[in-house]
A and B are shown apart, each in its own frame.
Chain A
Amino acid sequence: MKKFNTDAEKFSLVRREAIYTGLALVGLIIFWLIAGFGTASSEIKIFHLPLWAVLGTVGVWFVAIVISAILSKILFKDVDLGGDDDD
């Protein structure tokens, strides 16, 4: 695992992670638009709910969970935050 020792390395990593988060937001907005408005004319129903109402609500939530998992478990790295109260 790569160690981030200097402030410059840590801040550069944090900047990269913030960009990943911003891109994840853009991705989720696109999914939200397609999942809800994009499928609103579909006749398909799931448990009495129109497709848009399932994909646009529970679907968006699941995608947000997947995004959070990808960010936090794959793209984000552990860094020593410094200070005497950090482990």
Chain B
Amino acid sequence: MTEGNLSALLPLVIFMAFMVAISIFVRHKQAEKNFVSNYFIGNRQLGGFVLAMTTVATYSSVSSFVGGPGMAFQVGFGWIYMAVVQVTAIFLVLGIFGKRVALLARKLNAVTVVDIIRARFQSDFLAAVAAFVIVLFFCGTMTAQFVGGAKLFAAVTGYSYEAGLILFGLVVVVYTSIGGFRAVALTDTLCALIMMIGIVLLLHYVLQAGGGYENIMTTLEKNNPELFEPFSFGNMPWTIYFTQWLLVGICTIALPQSVVRGISYKNTAGLHQAMLIGTVVVGFMNIGINFTGILAHGVLTGTAADYGGVDNVIPTTIVRAMPPELVGLAIIGPLAASISTISGLLIVASSAIVKDVYLHYAEKNNHVVTPSRVKFLSMATTALIGGAVFVIALTPPSLIWLINMFAFGGLETAFFWTLLLGLFWKRANKLGAMLSMTGGTIIYCATQAAGFKIFNLHQITIGITCSLILFLIGSYFGKKSDEETLKIFFPTK
């Protein structure tokens, strides 16, 4: 750890220390309140601004800040045109699920999305499968975040990959374990603000290093005409556009880490505010960072392959365009994207094990669990999951971005119809949800493993179609939900 750039390290150390301080403060402030509700959903106290920021920050991962703009560098404005579909993500999830989930959570005293699924379909088995799917795919996504962040850290600061992993990876596990959801929401808000500052900072220095906007664009128009064509001379086929609408647009509404935010806010005025703020912020980030990726041609004159591939475009740009004393600040933006995603997933994965599995079975079997034991188990489980992912990331698996996308598609296949039809269609029943979640996820994973595609489309199209068909078959042939359940989920008077 001796040959690195110390000035690049210092801002990050201060930033991470501040995150831990927030977490300790939150734990101290809320020591007396209902632990489970407080630890896993922040006692339903989030205001509009924090709700918007935490939803955006959890949704925007390190790949939005590294791999994405690297691809924009390579294919041009078609990539931004594709990426901008993500502006739908916040207003869709909050507009469709926000109030319904909030009303139901209060009626059922639910703390997690799995609580709501269990109550809707009256099935412990389905709830256990949902918890398992969450933990499994979240671990994949978190590993991708750890690896992506640590690689970026090593490339930009000159310190080792392991040093980066310890500095930001271990710290995010510590602060999430201590502070729970409320700390996650507050640190996410800070991360989202830092991401936006990072984008503006990088854009400014890229423009400066490239001789100004006019100069960069004139050169690009002359030398890279493919960047100005929506299909990028064949580099952006229609299949990518179509798939991305599903994968990072429409189907993201059912991601458990997004839907759980519907349980966490204080009142509907906050929800309405969050829809607007979230849409502004997510668009700013997407367009800002990907446009910066294209403008990086003013700094990097070769192709992406000359710098070791698309993932190295942004790290190399940061090193070449930014003054050495500001490199440390610039790297906080993408790392903030990474840690805010990890913390958001970690707390939901922990709740899946502690609340959805352990506490539920303890209650069912009349085992008394003392508050101090719940507290210990919750914090220990969060730390254990984070620790396990940290260890996996120490020897990073290859094709890490594919693992990230694989996990995204798996979660959407499992939860999209179960939540959408479960919460809005009376006829939806246990058999339908069970077939859809288990069958859809297995088919999705099998087609991924076999590399099987239809029309060269991402396997999410197969997964989401099969899970719908299975849901409809199960709902028409299975037993209807009982009247008591329907009264709760679809009250008529």
Q: Name A's B-contacting residues (CB within 8 A).
A: 6-8, 10-11, 14-15, 17-18, 20-22, 24-25, 28-29, 32, 36-37, 40, 47-50, 52-53, 56-58, 60-61, 64-65, 67-69, 71-73, 76-79, 81-83, 85-87
Task: State the interface size on chain B (CB cutoff 8 A).
Answer: 54
Which residues of A lie under 8 Å from residue B84 when comparing CB positions? Answer: 32, 56-57, 60-61
A-B contact pairs, 8 of them (CB 8 A): A8-B491, A8-B493, A36-B230, A47-B217, A61-B284, A65-B283, A67-B279, A85-B106
The SS class assigned to the A binding surface is helix
Q: In the complex, identify which listed stretch (B18-26, B90-98, B406-414, B461-469) lies at the interface while the others stay far away.
A: B90-98
Which one of A10, A57, A86 has the greatest number of beta carbons of chain B within 10 Å? A57
Which residues of B lie under 8 Å from residue A50 when comparing CB positions? Answer: 77, 228
Q: Report Cα–Cα, A37/B242, bound state, in Å.
A: 13
Which residues of A lie under 8 Å from residue B43 when comparing CB positions? Answer: 85
Which residues of A lie under 8 Å from residue B27 when comparing CB positions? Answer: none
Contact with A along B424-437 (1 / 0, CB 8 A): 10000000000000
Given contacts A22-B96, A48-B217, A58-B287, contact A68 B91 (CB under 8 A): yes
Q: In the complex, identify which listed stretch (B53-61, B142-150, B174-182, B264-272) lies at the interface while the others stay far away.
A: B264-272
Say yes or no: B221 contacts A25, CB within 8 Å: no
Question: Which chain B residues (76-107) contact chain A, with CB distance < 8 Å?
Answer: 77, 80-81, 84-85, 87-88, 90-92, 95-97, 99-100, 102-103, 106-107
Say yes or no: B230 contacts A25, CB within 8 Å: no
Q: Report Cα–Cα, A21/B89, bound state, in Å.
A: 11
Which residues of A lie under 8 Å from residue B85 when comparing CB positions? Answer: 32, 60
Say yes or no: B287 contacts A53, CB within 8 Å: no
Say yes or no: A86 contacts B92, CB within 8 Å: no
Contact with A along B449-493 (1 / 0, CB 8 A): 000000000000000000000000000000000000000001111
Which residues of B lie under 8 Å from residue A73 when comparing CB positions? Answer: 272, 276
B69: min CB distance to chain A, Å: 14
Say yes or no: B228 contacts A82, CB within 8 Å: no
Which residues of A lie under 8 Å from residue B229 when comparing CB positions? Answer: 40
Q: Which 6 A-B pairs have the closest CB atoms?
A: A21-B95, A83-B106, A61-B283, A48-B217, A72-B272, A7-B491
Which residues of B lie under 8 Å from residue A22 when comparing CB positions? Answer: 96
A85: min CB distance to chain B, Å: 5
Which residues of A lie under 8 Å from residue B77 when comparing CB positions? Answer: 49-50, 52-53, 56-57
Say yes or no: B95 contacts A64, CB within 8 Å: no
Q: Report Cα–Cα, A67/B280, bound state, in Å.
A: 11
Say yes or no: A68 contacts B492, CB within 8 Å: no
Say yes or no: B103 contacts A82, CB within 8 Å: yes
Say yes or no: A25 contacts B491, CB within 8 Å: no
In this complex, what residue of A is CB-closest to B227? A53
In this complex, what residue of A is CB-closest to B490? A11
B83: min CB distance to chain A, Å: 8
Say yes or no: A28 contacts B106, CB within 8 Å: no
Apart from A48-B218, A60-B85, A76-B268: 16 A-B pairs, beta carbons within 8 A: A6-B491, A11-B100, A11-B491, A14-B103, A24-B91, A25-B250, A28-B87, A40-B230, A53-B81, A57-B81, A64-B87, A64-B91, A68-B90, A73-B272, A76-B275, A78-B268
Say yes or no: B95 contacts A18, CB within 8 Å: yes
Q: Report Cα–Cα, A33/B287, bound state, in Å.
A: 17
A17: min CB distance to chain B, Å: 7
B42: min CB distance to chain A, Å: 10
Say yes or no: A85 contacts B45, CB within 8 Å: yes
Q: Report Cα–Cα, A51/B342, bound state, in Å.
A: 38
Q: Report Cα–Cα, A73/B283, bound state, in Å.
A: 19
Say yes or no: A15 contacts B424, CB within 8 Å: yes
Say yes or no: A85 contacts B81, CB within 8 Å: no
Say yes or no: B279 contacts A83, CB within 8 Å: no
Given contacts A57-B84, A81-B102, contact A20 B95 (CB under 8 A): yes
Say yes or no: A65 contacts B81, CB within 8 Å: no
Which residues of A lie under 8 Å from residue B44 when comparing CB positions? Answer: 83, 85-86
Say yes or no: A21 contacts B228, CB within 8 Å: no
Which residues of B lie under 8 Å from residue A61 when comparing CB positions? Answer: 84, 87, 283-284, 286-287
Say yes or no: A6 contacts B91, CB within 8 Å: no
Q: Report Cα–Cα, A14/B276, bound state, in Å.
A: 18
Say yes or no: A81 contacts B91, CB within 8 Å: no
**B239 in the interface (beta carbon within 8 A):** no
Which residues of A lie under 8 Å from residue B287 when comparing CB positions? Answer: 57-58, 61
Q: Report Cα–Cα, A60/B214, bound state, in Å.
A: 24
Select one of B88, B217, B280 contacting A25, CB under 8 A: B88
In this complex, what residue of B is CB-closest to A60? B84
A13: min CB distance to chain B, Å: 8
Which residues of A lie under 8 Å from residue B208 when comparing CB positions? Answer: none
B369: min CB distance to chain A, Å: 22
Contact with A along B361-378 (1 / 0, CB 8 A): 000000000000000000
Say yes or no: A10 contacts B103, CB within 8 Å: yes
Given contacts A18-B96, A25-B250, A61-B87, contact A6 B493 (CB under 8 A): yes
B215: min CB distance to chain A, Å: 10
Say yes or no: B87 contacts A60, CB within 8 Å: yes
Say yes or no: A65 contacts B276, CB within 8 Å: yes
B442: min CB distance to chain A, Å: 29
